[in-house]
Amino acid sequence: MKKNTKQRAKEGKINIPRLILRIVIVVIALMLLLFIIKIAPNYTKDEFADKINLIINNNNITRNLKSDIIIEDNTVYLSVDDVSNFFDEYLLVEEENSRIITTSNTKTVVIPFDSTKIYISGSNIELAHKLMQKDDKIYLPMTDLTDIYNIEVNYYSNSNIVTIDSLNRKLVQATSSKKMNVKYKTTIFSKTVDKVERGDTLILVQDKENNSNVEEDGWIKVRTKNGKLGYVKKEDISNEQVLREELDTNTRLDGKVSLVWDYYSQYVTAPVRDGKIEGINVVSPSFYEISASGDIDSNIGTDGKAYIEWAHANGYKIWPMLSNSELGDMEAVSKILSKFETRAYLIENIVKELVDAGVDGINVDFENMYMEDKDNYSRFLIELAPRLHELGLTLSVDVTAPDGSETWSLCFDRNVIGKVADYIIFMGYDQNGTSSTKAGTVAGADWVELNIKKFLGQEGVDKSKLILAMPFYTRLWKETDGTLTSSVVNMRSVTVPEGTEKTWDENTKQFYIEYEKDGAIYKMWIEDEESLKAKLDLVNRYDLAGAAYWSKDRELNTVWNIIDEKLNINND
């Protein structure tokens, strides 16, 4: 028979004090383990305590700095690498010209190495300080560049913190209701990062995603007057007020884009339009061509002005097309793109034309360029975008399918264009064109979808910027004695000879016809309402920015209601 604990204790077989001691030791060990897991991280040593910390839009990004911040003459200097990392991904250092070219959302700026006179969006101004060159690195005086990047820069010497705030972002402040400690994390056990007095002003940190205060379990994230970030109890602040609302700098449309190109040559006047076209919200008339000098050949005239009035009266945005097709000289285009001065001259002419015309944006359609000019073409768009955005104008850029020929496809950096432009338009046609050695569709749905995937995948283009352009035409192919020719047939002009059977091609989502006449074999993949529906379905399936159509007056009248139904366009 087993003896109970009390009996065993009486017999001296159990030492009660020792048992209690063991239990206490286990409890202390468990509490210590809990402290290590839950609480100790709140007291980790600040690895950047001995250097200047950088807080951008209430995020401490000191860990990501490539070079130390320099403070001199009450001016905050950041290295070129850091400015490129945080403010201008496409900052360009031209060693050969001893200058930096940088852009912001609304400014294009040239900063010489050894001068305070800088070029900014067509004008010259003086900075208080020059660039600094130290240890083979170049530093920019950020305190002097606040208007360029639209930021506010402050240095808190007592805490060794630099704060940089975008003036486009929402700013909310509140008042401390009592003297309290600002905590590293949302717990009273966390370390204290700063102390505030009753009545101190606190900046409330905003969640960019939902444009509201950062709050958690009754705590709210703040920035103190010393630039320190931390948490206080929400109940301990008062007088919350919004000092600055989020500034909407978006030059894109709400909802889907539905754009129709209204092409007419430089040798005729703008078409006369009357009434409303259902299903569109943007028109792109062929107003502009570039010349070899970088000037703009405008074909607006009296009829073009009437066209603009018609479009705006019907609620359409107008993004005139700027083309290099009439110039037809790759060497001339290359020279324009090769230097900042010639790009800037072209950009100034573009801006002047758009402002004078009173339009809403531009559609840049440069085709057939040297592959070697790919980066220079990107620079042109990088420098053009801020000038347009400063005026609230939209930039859309036409490109071909990836992975084609050097002068037709490889001359575009679609990733960069997709970032700097408001919209990148994939001209989803001429899958088989005049140079094709075999008959085929102009724009099969399978080919179009494959290239959409390339844009979103290998090219890294955001779906919210990608517009799919589709043709209002097809080709009639003629095979005679081994010779292949083709001719363009507008959608509205497609005819099927009597007795010819139409066969549905499930891959291309088109009707196919083939017939013999006068010893020749004719083939056509038809563009009609059904093929258009399939392409519009791709726009919705991949949640693209919208659709575009080449070009007006080639279509069937029935297409506009189809487009309106598929894309739910509202241009009222």
231 in the same domain as 344: no
Element (H, E) at 397: strand 394-399
Q: Does one domain contain both 223 and 93?
A: no
Q: Answer whether 543's CB lies under 8 Å from 463's CB.
A: yes
In a domain, 252, yes or no: no
Looking at the DSSP bridge assignments, the partners of residue 390 are none
Q: What is the CATH number of the domain that holds 81?
A: 3.30.457.10
Which amino acid, one-letter code, is at 491? M
Phi-psi label, residue 122: left if phi above 0, alpha if psi -120 to 50, beta otherwise: left
In contact, 192 and 20? CB cutoff 8 Å: no
Whether the per-residue pLDDT at 370 is higher than 90: the answer is: yes
Same domain membership, residue 478 and residue 381: yes
Same domain as 233, residue 341: no
User: Is residue 175 a contact partner of residue 238, using CB atoms and an 8 Å limit?
Assistant: yes
Boundary residue ending a domain (184, 211, 244): 244
**pLDDT (average), residues 319-341:** 96
For helices 559-567 and 529-541, give the axis angle rounded to 10 degrees.
20
What pLDDT sits at residue 190? 93
The reply to whether 228 falls in a domain is: yes
Tell me the pLDDT band of 27, cut-offs 50, 70 and 90.
confident
Mean pLDDT, residues 413-427: 98
Question: pLDDT (tens digit, 9 = 90+) per residue, 81-138?
Answer: 999 999 999 999 999 999 999 999 999 999 999 999 999 988 999 999 999 999 999 9
Q: What is the pLDDT of residue 84?
A: 98
The pLDDT score that the predictor gives to residue 6 is 53
Closest CA to 73 of 127, 16, 12, 22: 127
pLDDT at 18 over 90: no
In a domain, residue 513? The reply is yes
Residues 143 and 182 in one domain: no
Mean of pLDDT values over 446-463? 98
What's the pLDDT score for residue 202?
Answer: 98
Q: How many CB atoms lie within 10 A of CB 204?
A: 23
> Is residue 290 assigned to a domain?
yes
For residue 214, with 0-12 CB atoms within 10 Å meaning exposed, 13-18 middle and 19 or more buried, which class applies? middle
First to last CA, the chain: 95
Indicate whether 361 and 465 sit together in one domain. Answer: yes
What angle do helix axes 374-390 and 340-357 make, rounded to 10 degrees?
40
271 in the same domain as 195: no
CA distances from 332 to 326, 329, 340, 346, 360 (A): 12, 5, 15, 13, 28
Confidence of residue 14 (pLDDT cuts 50, 70, 90): low
pLDDT at 24 > cutoff 90:
no
Examine the pLDDT at 39 and tell me if it is beyond 60: no
Average pLDDT in the 326-340 region?
A: 95
Element (H, E) at 488: strand 483-490
Residue 425 has pLDDT above 80, yes or no: yes
- In terms of domains, do 140 and 197 share one? no
Average pLDDT over residues 316-340: 96
Distance CA 110, CA 91 (A): 10
Confidence of residue 47 (pLDDT cuts 50, 70, 90): low
Q: Quote the CA–CA distance of 401 and 390 in Å, as a whole number.
A: 30
With bands split at pLDDT 50, 70 and 90, how would you rate the model's confidence at 75?
very high
Q: Whole-number mean pLDDT of the chain? A: 93
217 in any annotated domain: yes
- For the residues 398-415, what does the mean pLDDT come to? 96
Chain segment 194-246, per-residue pLDDT in tens: 999 999 999 999 998 888 999 999 999 999 999 999 999 999 999 999 999 99
Residue 348 pairs in a beta bridge with none
pLDDT in the model for residue 116: 97
Q: Is residue 183 located within the same domain as residue 131?
A: no
- Strand partners for 202: 174
Q: Which two tokens stand for residue 196?
A: 């505030």
Structure confidence by residue, pLDDT tens digits, 233-289: 999 999 999 999 998 888 999 999 999 999 999 889 999 999 999 999 999 999 999
Give yes or no for residue 12 having a pLDDT over 80.
Answer: no
Number of domains in the chain: 4
pLDDT score for 208? 85
Residues 438, 559, single domain; the answer is: yes
Buried b or exposed e, range 398-407, using 16+ CB within 10 angstroms: bbbbbeeeee
The domain containing residue 192 runs over which residues?
168-244
Confirm whether 141 is domain-assigned: yes
524 and 453 part of one domain: yes
The answer to whether position 296 is within a domain reads: yes
Percent of the chain predicted with pLDDT > 90? 87
Kindly tell me the sign of the dihedral angle through the C-alpha atoms of 481, 485, 487, 491: positive
Q: What would the two tokens of residue 58 be?
A: 């209430």
pLDDT in tens, 145-182: 999 999 999 999 999 999 999 999 999 999 999 999 99
In this predicted structure, the answer to whether residue 1 has a pLDDT above a threshold of 60 is: no
**Which among 97, 121, 153 is the end of a domain?**
153
Q: What is the maximum alpha-carbon separation in the chain?
A: 122
Residue 389 lies in a domain: yes
Over residues 360-375, mean pLDDT: 98
Q: Which residue has the tokens 């097309």?
A: 321
Q: What percent of the chain has pLDDT over 70?
A: 94
Give, in order, the Cα–Cα distances in Å from 187 to each of 213, 229, 234, 236: 18, 15, 13, 14
**pLDDT in the model for residue 42:** 55
The pLDDT tens digits of the residues spanning 382-397 come to 999 999 999 999 999 9
CA–CA dist 115, 129 (Å, integer): 9
CB atoms within 10 A of CB 129: 16
pLDDT at 43 over 80: no
**CATH number, domain at 562?**
3.20.20.80
pLDDT for residue 366 is more than 60 = yes
| Whether the predicted pLDDT of 11 surpasses 80 | no
State whether 385 and 529 are in the same domain: yes
Reduced to 3 states, what is the DSSP secondary structure of residue 6?
helix
Q: 211, 244, 277: which is the final residue of a domain? A: 244
Place of tokens 């949302």: 186
